[in-house]
A and B are shown apart, each in its own frame.
Chain A
Amino acid sequence: MKSFRWAEPKSVEQAVALLAAGQGKTYLMSGGTDLLGQLKEGIIEADVVVDLAAIPGLSDIRKDKDGLKIGALTTIAELASDPAAGQDYPGLRRAGSVIASPQLRNMGTVGGNICQRPRCWYFRNAGIICFKKGGDRCFAFEGRNKYHAIFGGSPCYIVYPSDLAPMLLALDAVVAIATPQGERTLPLGKFYALPDVDVQRENVLAPGELVREVRLPPPAKGARSAYLKLEERGAWDFALVSCAVAASGPARSPSSLRIAMGGVAPIPWRLSGVEAALKGKSLTDAAIRTAVRAALKEAVPLSENGYKSALVETAVSRAVLSIA
């Protein structure tokens, strides 16, 4: 691992200034659970690491009339045990509590989780230079791809690994971003970008920008949410497929229904077609599966990940019915 300089800004403004200063490659660190792995494995080389830990006010969860505001440095463990988050957004608590392992939940943060880099085993191998690292091919496309994308893949077939991101997307979250010019906000649905936009990045943060907060609208009447994660092993595993659902209104035919998938695409993947097909319908297993099968016609499975289609169907049905 190459040596780097270490910065401990005391304010978001200082942190943003450090990022914008562009003194070589600058990386942000919150919990470090992803960054340290990348540094040690030689996936990235840093000139400057900006540690956010000393900045006050970034690790609060605040509830007010506008909804819930989650500071970027809130740990996953704090989120998963927060009473306000748990009461109004049970799916979010669930998503937080099934992430990785207790140690990683104690260190990992909400901001870090939604900005984490992909786990693709080609990307994480320092000896392999793929599209994402400036190379000229996606090794997974014709290689070992059982964990890779069935939607939105070309030209890079990573899946976005976050458990929080699909849940936050279903909950219609907004990301508050600190920029050198002040704050800007973006709906989470516009925060992520597919590889055909910029294959080396997963989100639209500009240089000099950092996520300072995630905001959730207040729960509508009868609001409910759920997160279902299908893993290979019982803990410390990324989702093969996960399904986040948020709904409000009458139980069997909700007035609002949002479905977002994890583990299937390079970004958290909204199933808008399924939401539309189910609008005004009575939610039954058969109706849900019919709608999901139609959506799966857009899926482009690779040689080893075709099974994900079956998992998507089951995950959506089970998750939606769990709150119907």
Chain B
Amino acid sequence: MKTDDIIEDGNLDYLRDAMGAEPTGQEQPPTPPAEFRWVGWPVPRVDGRLIVTGRAKYIHDLSFEGMLHARILRSPYASAEIVSLDTTAAEALPGVMGVLKLKEGRVKYEGEQVAAVAAVDETTADTAIELIKVEYKELPHVISAEAAMAEGAPRVQDAPNVQKFNEYTRGDIDQGFASAEVTLERTYRTRFEIHHPLETHASVAWWKDDELTVWDSTQAVHNTHDGLARMLNIPAGKLRVICQYMGGGFGSKLGANEHTAAAARLSQLTGRPVKVALSRKENSLCVGNRPSTVITIKGGAKKDGTLTALHLKNYTSGGVGRGDRSSEPLRDIYKCPNVKVEEYTVFINAGGSRPTRAPGHVQGTFALEGFMEEFAGELGMDPLELRRKNYSTSNLGQTGNPYSSKGLDECYTLGAEKIGWAKRNKKPGAAPGTKKRGLGMATQIWWGAGTPGTAAEVKVHPDGSVEAICGTQDIGGGTRTFMATVTADTLGLEPKDITVKLGDTTYPWAPNSGGSQTAPSVAPAIRDAALKAADWLKELAAKKLKIPAAGIVIAGGKLFDKASPEKSIAFADCLRDQYREAVFQGLRGDLPAGFAYNSFGAHFAEVEVDTETGQVKVLRVAAAHEIGRVLNRLTAESQVAGGITQGLSAGLFEERVTDEYSGKMLNTNLEDYKIATAEDMPEMTFLFVDKPDPRINNLGDKGLGEPPRIPSTAAIANAVYNAIGVHLREIPMTPDRVLKALAAKEAGS
């Protein structure tokens, strides 16, 4: 039977029958909890069929009667003064319905908004944009952090280009180095990455009768709501934000956008719905990026590997925005008594940064875990042993509290066994020949405890139908599906019996889908509402069955007496004499104090490096994660596959390229900004510790959004080091860089 048939038939039992005989690629068959029929099992997405058949309407697909199309005129210069802006000709063009001037004075990056038009069709809008006359006076720009840090460099902001923005100390760093028997200092570099969601940023705004409705491709309907109300200075109660389906964000769609505000203004001006959909080039320039970093780590340890000191210095650039704080992994992962952190942001004339799937942790883990791998080499230790030696059971970097749960040691064991860690090159680069294989690993820590106060509703109708409602959004992680499975399991129903409603600010508040907080925020709130509904239903059944509610079980579409199951009533029969829907409000409760709540994981990679061409092929990745309870094995695996893909892609290919002379970005398309293809993907194994956290929430689940993206690049870089005996300390590891590193090693030896 094909997956297609399963979805068509709704016959999910098939999956469970098949799991024993034919696991879906995972080496470790899931052992779902006995108390749940759906939660923890591999359940196909409830909206999967709509999505793959193209019937799910993304923002780019939306169209309304009389809708206008907006285009934004953007600065072609990285730094310039707008001398004059003349929109007369554009306004006079037939079909142009509205023009906005958006900027005066100085533009600080290529792609900054200057003006906007709304026209009856896209072609007219394009033509109108070309008719806008802007006179710029070009100003000196700085495009690289190196140039921005040079003495006398032109200032990007009204402040010096280099700003200290984070420092931290624990213990006594000098003492730590004084007591070290071995020390090592290394510098690691990561470049700017662009989020590049499949669906570029897009909004439709419709201002009608003093009320504004905005359909936005967003990771955060409520944050967008709040942000737009402030930007437009309108009562938040007159605004509604909707996002039913969106094509990815990776952090670039966490709030209100300037282009959305422009579309709203144009709608107000014209009285018609206005759509704005950014091009791939605009997506490359002006809706965020992952900051570059130059991270220097100096570490000290005893000969047995016990860390005595870690010192991190980071110069990070986020364009006109701030760079990424990248020191969390170093502060938290290892039990090191003496730690010092200094982080500086460097302004340059390029689009501002936005959070990018695991902001700071990706760069910080590449550096820290690269350092640990090299330090192990220096100490003559197995790199995994060095990590185990410094294992920490409490969160030293923030609260000092013990972790509520930490399955990292099990991740190490699962991953090491799967990849065959014992077979690694004991001496990096020792393998003979020109195609060298190597193994590497990296550790991950992240938050993902969820947000207290997240609200949800479960509605039970007199006909027995059930709605699960939350003002969250499904950014591709499978939110709809777990809302259905959690409700179904709690009420003894099937996912298909639950109507899921999300992606609308008229629904109860939920946080943005960033920081891995959706599942540990929304699932417990839904669970809470559904448990209240179940209690109420048991009371109804108790009256009808004439038994105490305490003895009633709700399962299999029925409510029945636990002691004598033949005393039962069908779910819908309980409700027939109700004359109104019953609404149950659920909340994600507080996190119990005195503990630290974090997710953990470890990736293990095997690579083959062609030492004559510098090409790196990732052969296998074994990814082990501890995220408390796994809510849905299928979507969890999908999430990890995505994390590995992005990590591999960033490790081998992705880099924003800018031209110092013209100040322009050169690879504003998906041909030159290279993202991994199917051909580049390794064999992947997905391993989960899968133990509910005892206190984090009523389901024991932590988030999985960011975690699989964090260690993948570092594990691959470390495998390259193990293969060729030299650490590149820089991503992406393109053939030119690999060959350069090999040549440097040759020259040094």
Within 8 A of B (CB), among A40-97: none
CB contacts between A and B, total, < 8 Å: 80
A233 near B666: Cβ-Cβ < 8 Å = no
Determine whether A27 belongs to the interface, using a CB cutoff of 8 Å to chain B.
no
With both beta carbons as reference points, the residue of chain B lying nearest to A310 in the complex is identified as B739
A240 to B734, CA, bound (A): 11
In the complex, per-residue mask of B651-680: 1 if CB is within 8 Å of any chain A CB, else 0: 011000111111010111001101011111
Q: Mark A116-147, 1 if CB is under 8 A from B, else 0.
A: 00010110110110000000000100111010
Query: What is the chain A residue whose CB lies nearest that of B678?
Result: A235
Residue A298 lies at the interface, judged by CB distance under 8 Å to chain B? no
- A142 CB contacts on chain B under 8 angstroms: 661
Please report the C-alpha to C-alpha distance between residue A235 and residue B613 in the assembled complex, in whole angstroms: 16
Q: Are A304 and B661 in contact (CB under 8 A)?
A: no
CB distance from A236 to the nearest CB of B (A): 6
A232, B613: Cβ atoms closer than 8 Å: no
B680 close to A234 (CB less than 8 A):
yes
CA distance A142 to B660 in the complex (A): 10
B657 pairs with A144, CB closer than 8 A: yes
Query: Contacting B661 at CB < 8 Å: which of A101, A143, A310?
Result: A143
The 8 A CB mask of A230-247 against B (1 = contact, 0 = none) is 101111110010000000
With A1-B126, A310-B612 in contact, do A237 and B666 touch (Cβ < 8 Å)? no
B453 in the interface (beta carbon within 8 A): no
Check A235/B666 contact, CB under 8 A, given A119-B671, A139-B661, A307-B739.
no
For the complex, would chain A's binding face be called helix, strand, loop or mixed by DSSP majority? loop
Contact B677 A233 (CB under 8 A): yes
- The answer to whether B674 touches A235 (Cβ under 8 A) is no
Pair B614/A307 contact, Cβ less than 8 Å: yes
CB of B672 within 8 A of CB of A121, answer yes
Which single residue of chain A is at the shortest CB-CB distance from B110?
A: A127
B740 located at the interface, meaning its Cβ lies under 8 Å from any Cβ of chain A in the complex = yes
Give the distance to chain A from B616, nearest Cβ to Cβ, in Å.
10
Residue among B612, B653, B659 making CB contact with A232, cutoff 8 Å:
B653
Q: Which of A3, A101, A139, A310 contacts B659 (CB 8 A)?
A: A139
Bound-state CA distance A233–B736 (Å) is 13
Q: Chain A interface residue count: which class?
A: 20 to 34
Asked if B615 CB lies within 8 Å of chain A CBs, one says yes
Contact, CB under 8 Å: A304 / B736: yes
**Interface residue? A251 (CB, 8 A):** no
Q: Which residue of B lies closest to A1 (CB)?
A: B126
Q: With A121-B657, A143-B661, A311-B613 in contact, is A236–B735 under 8 Å at CB?
A: no
Contacts of B672 in A (CB 8 A): 119, 121, 124
Q: What's the minimum C-beta distance from A283 to chain B, rounded to whole angstroms? A: 18
Which residues of the other chain, A, contact B659 by a CB distance below 8 angstroms?
122, 128, 139, 143-144
Q: Does B271 contact A (CB under 8 A)?
A: no
Taking Cβ atoms with an 8 Å cutoff, the residues of B that contact A are: 76, 123, 126, 612-615, 652-653, 657-662, 664, 666-668, 671-672, 674, 676-680, 734-736, 739-740
Given A101-B677, A314-B613; 8 other pairs, CB 8 A cutoff: A121-B667, A128-B662, A144-B657, A230-B735, A232-B735, A233-B674, A304-B736, A310-B612
Residue ranges of A at the interface with B (Cβ–Cβ < 8 Å) = 1, 3, 101, 119, 121-122, 124-125, 127-128, 139, 142-144, 146, 230, 232-237, 240, 304-305, 307, 310-311, 314-315
Task: For the complex of A and B, list the 6 residue pairs with the smallest distance between their C-beta atoms, beginning with the closest.
Answer: A234-B679, A307-B736, A121-B666, A235-B679, A314-B612, A235-B677
